[in-house]
Structure 1
Amino acid sequence: MIWLIVIGGGALIAFALDLYSLGHPDKQRKVAVADHIPTLFVPGYFGTRYTFGHMLRRLPVDKQVVAIVRRNGAVHLRGRLAFGPHVAVQVLFVDKQIRPQQQFAGLTNVIAALQQQAAFPAINLVSHSMGGITALLYTVSRPKVPVATLISLAAPYNDREVAKNGKIFNWPLGPAGPTQTAPIYDFFQAHAQDLPKTLRWLNVAGDLFNGSQHDGAVGVNSALAIRYLAQNRVARYAEVVIRGPRAAHSLLHENRLVDADVATFLWPLHETAG
């Protein structure tokens, strides 16, 4: 009985330490590469510190700042930008049911707050699910701090509902675009000319590979529909489809194949060694 208590207590302590560390900056540098473009990690609807917390541990980055966006849009920064390595900023929203426009406003406030700590010429954005909508809203807003590299994981670019889970839209993709479009796609189509010509974009979709052609929440065709707006407008647009059980919507950010794709796209191999 005592050993069960000891094991249970140890597991509880390990869980508590993991929970704490996922929401706080790294204390030690993991890489020593000069990099003056911070990479912000943006979760989606009901996203938490777990969305990108473990991926940030696995990637060759230093999570120097955790940016917490309060319900009123105010930003609290844990940590401070020091640059030097591959700098990561984990963005967390207190309101887990926040919508894209409010998330976009919060993200803009985060970037402004970070600029108060250290000046930087551009940012990279790594996003999951609805966070991909938010990241693209920021990208096409012609911001003062532009996006250099955008990575979207399972973003519902052609869904009628981009936040809450519901019907999965998977309209076919034809030679000139999707056969049917949702309002969010129409919005981005109207603002396609605002995509930076220098943008590098990696778009990742998940397919459970059971004949459904979706990741359990977002259709492959919905995620990839944005290709028609990005191709021939940005410097580089690339797609990856992850297949199998580990391609489930909430597991994409826990997939080692995705880790490798993210790291390779953000930083060429000769830059990741530290």
Structure 2
Amino acid sequence: MIKKFTYKLFLTLATSLLLLTSLCLTFPLTTRNHLHKQLLAQPTLYFHGWAGSANSTNHLIAAAAALPQVKKVLTITVTESRQLAINGSWQDNVKYPLIQVLFANNQAEIPQQAHWIDKVVTYLQTNYHIQSFNIVTHSMAGPATFYWAITSYRPTYPQFNKFVAIAGPFDGVIHIDDVPNQNYFQADGLPAYQNAAFKNYYRQRQAFPKNTQVLNIYGNLADGSNSDSLVTNVSARSLGSLVKGQVASYQEITITGPSAQHSRLHNNDQVNHAVDNFLFK
């Protein structure tokens, strides 16, 4: 009787130990697989410009999401209280996750926007363990991203892989501190007129991540203004003066005609095609 009881006890303990061992092995493996897929994913963050909204990046995101292995997974809103509101879910099987970032206060100054960009990037690093990422911007989000990169980016951050600036005012805005056909590039490649913001960017340009690939898209209405109605071509192309020769690559694309107007550039099929080829091909 004692021998029978001992055998049953041994069998129960052995079964429990086997089950426990199985659980211990299976759970870490699942976790490792989950993390591995997240590490392989390369998210792209989309930022709107001054006074912008979801409409500023909806068309860009929809065009990208039509491609294989590309899908919008999250919308991150920086609320009025400066907290992050997260909507959506990040599926492990998406190779190129798209993340739309919105600012409830869409008229904040560049340093404040840069602080929010930093908050979003560090959130994604902490919660999704991203190893690299891309950023697509429209209008003022371009300078805000550049400012963030030269003031806040750290070697411990995920790699800033690709940066797309669409209609970025890097050296002035028409009706504020720029005039069509007034500015020009000098022999040294710098704009002749440099506003305070550009001078600040230029002083700190060496801090911009060296491994980043940069695509600069700007519009020319072909109406004699050499602008997209708000940003002159010289102002937009001044990004090149800041990064040429010190990043992995730099290229410019001009969009011409009525559809190159500042606010129409983010709803432009030529722009979509150029951005998606740069990011995902």
TM-score, normalising length: structure 2: 0.78
Larger Rg: 2
Residue by residue over 1:189-231, the C-alpha shift from the partner in whole angstroms, topping out at 9 and shown as x without a partner, is 1111112221100001111111110001100100001212211
| 1:100 lines up with 2:105 in the alignment | no
From 74, 86, 97, give the equivalent of 1:77: 86
Unaligned runs of 5+ in 2: 1-38
Paired letter, 1:54: H
Aligned pair partner of 1:180 in 171, 193, 218: 193
Matching residue of 1:16: none
The residue that corresponds to 1:263 in the other structure is 276
CA distance in 2, matches of 1:190, 1:73: 29
Per-residue CA deviation, residues 53-88 of structure 1 (Å, 9 max, x unaligned), is 122111133110000001232111101333433111
SS of match in other structure, 2:130: coil
Deviates most, 110-119 or 164-173: 164-173
The equivalent of 1:254 in structure 2 is 267
* 1:217 matched to 2:234: no
1:207–1:214 CA contact under 8 A, matched in 2: yes
SS of alignment partner, residue 250 of structure 1: helix
Does the C-alpha gap of structure 1 residues 165 and 37 become closer, same or farther in structure 2, counting only changes over 3 Å?
farther
* SS of residue in 2 equivalent to 1:71: coil
Amino acid at match of 1:46: A
- Please report the RMSD computed on the Cα atoms of aligned residues, expressed in angstroms: 1.8
2:164 to 147, 151, 167: 151
Bigger shift: 107-116 or 86-95? Answer: 107-116
Please list every run of at least 4 consecutive aligned residues from structure 1 whose deviation after the TM superposition is greater than 4 angstroms.
none
Contact residue 52 and residue 90 of structure 1 kept, 8 A? yes
Larger helix proportion of the pair? 2
* Letter of the structure 2 residue corresponding to residue 111 of structure 1: V
**1:8-59 CA-partner distances (Å, limit 9, x unpaired):** xxxxxxxxxxxxxxxxxxxxxxxxxx95221000111011010011221111
Contact kept, 8 Å, 1:206 with 1:214, in 2: the verdict is: yes
Aligned to 1:113: 123
SS of corresponding position for 1:225: helix
Match of 1:142? 153
Tell me if 1:57 matches 2:68.
no
State the AA in 1 paired with 2:250.
Answer: Y
What is the Cα deviation at residue 142 of structure 1? 2.6
Q: After the TM superposition, which residues 226-265 of structure 1 pair with which residues of structure 2 at under 5 Å, given as runs? A: 226-265=239-278
Q: What CA distance in whole angstroms lies between the structure 1 residues aligned with 2:266 and 2:177?
A: 22
Q: Which residue of 2 aligns with 1:39?
A: 44
Quick check: 1:89 aligned with 2:99?
A: yes
Q: Aligned-pair distance for 1:93?
A: 0.7
Q: Which residue of the partner structure matches residue 133 of structure 1?
A: 143
Once the two structures are superposed, residues 165-200 of structure 1 have per-residue CA deviations (whole angstroms, 9 ceiling, x without a partner) of 635445111221111111111111111111222110
Overall identity of the aligned pairs, in %: 26
Q: Which deviations, in whole Å up to 9, do the C-alpha atoms of 1:143-173 show, x marking residues without a partner?
A: 32341100000111011x6xx9635445111
Choose from 197, 213, 237 the match for 1:200: 213
What TM-score does the superposition give when structure 1 sets the normalisation length?
A: 0.80
Offset of residue 109 of structure 1? 1.4
Gaps (5+ residues) in structure 1?
1-33, 269-274
Structure 1 residues 244 and 112: CA distance shift in structure 2, 3 A: same
- Cα contact 2:42–2:95 (8 A) shared by 1: no
